Amino acid sequence: MNYYLANAGDGVNRAALAGDITTDVCVVGGGIAGCSAALHLAERGYRVTLLEAERVGFGASGRSGAQAIFGFACGQAKLEQQVGADAARQMWDVSLQGLGLLREVIDRHQIDCGYVSGQMHVAIKPRHEQELRAEVDELRNRYDYQSVRYLQQDETRSLIASKRYTGALLDSNSGHLQPLKYTRGLAAAAERAGTRIHEKSRVVALDAGAGATTPSRVRTATGTVTAQHVVLCGNALLGALVPQLARKIMAVGTYIVATQVLGEERVRGLIANNAAVTDINWVLDYFRRSADHRLLFGGRVSYSGLDAFSSANATRSRLLAVFPQLRDAPIEFAWGGYVDITMSRAPHFGRLAPNAYFLQGFSGHGIALTGIAGKLVAETIAGTAERFDLFARLPHADFPGGSLLRRPALVLAMLYYRLRDVL
C-alpha cells in the first residue's frame, strides 16, 4: 500500500465528467503539472476544466521519492550541447524559480505537506567524490549558486549513520515533502480559483484544433470538453492517446518502502539534519525521514516494465545495505509507480497544435519542475511564450525499437550502466 495515501487519508471525491461542456482551457492529468497549470490559469481569469483518469495525485505526483531538487536529470552540460550556454543558463534559472515557486505556493495556499529544507547527493566511491566536488565548484563559480557545499567523509557520516557514503553535496535550497498532500493542496487551490476538476474521467480521444482559432475537443467515456486550449500533463499514463508523444518517453518502474514508526530519537540518528538523500549511481538509492518518524527508502527500478519479484523484499535489501542497524525494523508500506524518462533525460515540453500543449519527460526531477512547468504553460496561453519556448527548442529522439522492441533495447542499454555502478 502507498504510505502517502494512508498518511493523507481518502481526500475529496470529485464527480466524473457528464455531458458536453465548453471551457477556455482543458487540462488533462491531475498531477502536480496539471494542477499547477490549472491554478495559474484560473488565477489569470481563464475558465479551466481538469480531467483526471483516476483521482488527483494517483500517478507519479502522489507516489514519488518527493525530493525537490535543483536542475535537470540530464545535467547542464547536456543542455549546453543542445541549445548553447545562454539558453542552458536560462533553463537553470527556471529550475531555481521552480524551487522558489514550490515554497511560495505552499505558503500562499497554506498547503499542509510537511516541507523540509535540505537535500544531499552522496558519494559511494572516489569517482563519485570527484564528480560531486566538480559539480559544487561549477555551481558556485559558474552559476553563482551558493547554497551548495561539499562535505568530506567525516561530516557526511556525522549526518548519515552509514559507512556506505564517503562524501556529499549538500544543498540547503532543495528539500522534500509529502507529495500527495502537496498535489491535493494544489488541486484545492485551483478549485478555489475557479477550476472544475473531474475525476474518473479518462480521456479516450483528442481532436487538437489545427488552427489558432479552431477549438479542440477532448472526449471521455461520459462526456466531451470543447476548449480553445488543451494542456496534456498525463506523462506516461497518457498511454497511446497521443502516439507521437508516447514514442518520446519510457515508463520506468520505481519502488519505495516505509518502515514502521521508529520514533523521533531513532530516526534522527539515521539522518541527523533531516535532509533528503540520494546517491549518484545510475540505479540509485534515495531516502528520507517522514514527519511521523519513519524511514522512506526507494532503491530499485524496473526498465522492463515488469515486477518479477517482491519489490518490498528487494528494496528492503537495499535499505539494509545502507542501514544494517534497521534489520529489526519491519516494513509497513511498499508501493511502486512509473517515472517518465526521455532519451536525453531532459524535460519534453511543446505543442501538438497551435493551442495544444504538452508537458512530460521530467525524468525523476518532477517535484519542483512540474510546478514551474505548469506556470510556464499558463504564461504561454496568456501570451508570453519565451520561457516555455526555451524548453520547446530541446530536441528529443524517439526511443529506438518501435512499440515491440523499444523496451528490450532499453533493458540491454541499462546493463552497461548497472555494470558501471559496480566499478
Tens-place pLDDT, residues 332-374: 999 988 888 899 999 999 999 999 999 999 998 999 999 999 9
- 89 part of a folded domain: yes
Burial (Cβ within 10 Å: 0-12, 13-18, ≥19) of residue 403: exposed
Q: How far is it, in rounded angstroms, from Cα 72 to Cα 33?
A: 16
Does residue 88 belong to any structural domain of this protein? Answer: yes
Q: Residue 221 above 70 pLDDT?
A: yes
Measure the CA–CA gap between 148 and 174, rounded to whole angstroms: 10
Q: What are the cell numbers at 359?
A: 508537458
Type of residue found at 326 = L
User: Is 418 a domain residue?
Assistant: no
Lowest-confidence region among 149-153, 285-289, 336-340: 336-340
Residue 374 C-beta-side C-alpha neighbours within 13 Å: 34
Backbone angles phi, psi at 57, to 5 degrees: 80, 10
* End-to-end Cα spacing for the chain: 35
Cα 262 to Cα 265: distance, rounded to the nearest angstrom: 8
Q: What percent of the chain has pLDDT over 90?
A: 83
In DSSP terms, which residues pair with 350 in a beta bridge?
358
> DSSP string spanning 131-142?
HHHHHHHHHHHT
The pTM score is: 0.93
Q: Give residue 90's identity as a one-letter amino acid code.
A: Q
Q: Residue 368: in which H helix or E strand, if any?
A: helix 366-381
Closest CA to 180 of 362, 360, 58, 33: 58
Say if residues 124 and 164 touch (Cβ distance below 8 Å): yes
417 falls within a domain: no
Residue 22 pLDDT grade (very low, low, confident, very high; cuts 50, 70, 90): very high
Question: Using one digit for the tens of pLDDT, what is the confidence trace for 289-308?
Answer: 999 999 999 976 654 454 54
Q: What per-residue confidence (pLDDT) applies to 417? A: 42
- Three cell numbers at 341? 524518462
For residue 71, the Cα-to-chain-centroid distance in whole angstroms is: 12
Pick the closest to residue 194 from 50, 398, 88, 304 (CA basis): 50
Q: Does pLDDT of 412 surpass 60?
A: no
**170 Cβ contact list (under 8 Å, min separation 6):** 118, 119, 120, 148, 149, 150, 151, 275
Q: Considering its fold, how many domains does the chain have in total?
A: 1
Answer whether residue 420 is part of any domain.
Answer: no
Q: How far apart are CA 366 and CA 230, in angstroms?
A: 21
Cα 229 to Cα 325: distance, rounded to the nearest angstrom: 54
CATH of the domain at 361: 3.50.50.60
Nearest to 349 by CA among 251, 250, 249: 249
User: pLDDT tens digit string along 49-66?
Assistant: 999 999 999 999 999 999
Q: Is 185 domain-assigned?
A: yes
Q: How is residue 391 written as a grid cell?
A: 524548453
Identify the H or E element spanning 116. strand 116-123
**Cα Rg of the chain (Å, integer):** 21
Contact 357, 209 (CB under 8 A): no
Residue keyed to cell 494542477: 35
Residue 127's domain comprises 3-412
Residues 28 and 207: their CA atoms lie apart, in Å, by 13
Asked whether residue 422 is assigned to any structural domain, the reply reads no
Judge whether 227 and 47 are in contact, CB under 8 Å. no
